[in-house]
Amino acid sequence: MSKLNELKKHLRPGQVYRRSDLAKLSNAVDRHLQQLVHDGMLQKLAGGLYYYPRATSFGNAPPEDEKLVQAFLKDDRFYIASLNAYNALGVGTTQLYNERLVYN
C-alpha cells in the first residue's frame, strides 16, 4: 500500500489537521498534502492547517469552530463567544454580529 493511501485511511470527514500531525503518517508530507488538496479531499485553511470537508446535501460543511480553534492553537483551553449572546438576555439589542471572539 502506498504512503498516500495509508495517509488517506487516517483522515476523517469534518476534522481539522495540522501539517505536523500528518507528517508522522507520511514520508513526503508536503507532496501528499498538495495531491490531496488538488484532488479536493483536503482544503487548505491557513499555513500548515488543513480541513477534510464533510459532505452534506447542500455541499461541503465548514469545520466546527471548536475543532478549528483547537487545531490552530494546539490547545483546548479557550472560550468562543459571540456578541449575539446579548440578544438572549433581552437587554434590547437586536443587531446580529457575524464574528466570534476567542479568549485563550
Strand partners of residue 16: 51
DSSP string, 20-80: HHHGGG-SSHHHHHHHHHHHTSSEEEETTEEE-PEEETTEEEPPPHHHHHHHHHT-S--EE
Digit-coded pLDDT (tens) for 13-47:
999 999 999 999 888 999 999 999 999 999 999 99
48-73 residues labelled b (16+ CB within 10 A) or e (exposed)? bbbbbbeeeeeeeeebeeeebbebbe
Digit-coded pLDDT (tens) for 65-84:
999 999 999 999 999 988 88
Measured CA distances, 12 to 7, 36, 45, 77, 98 (Å): 11, 13, 16, 23, 28
pLDDT average, residue stretch 78-95: 79
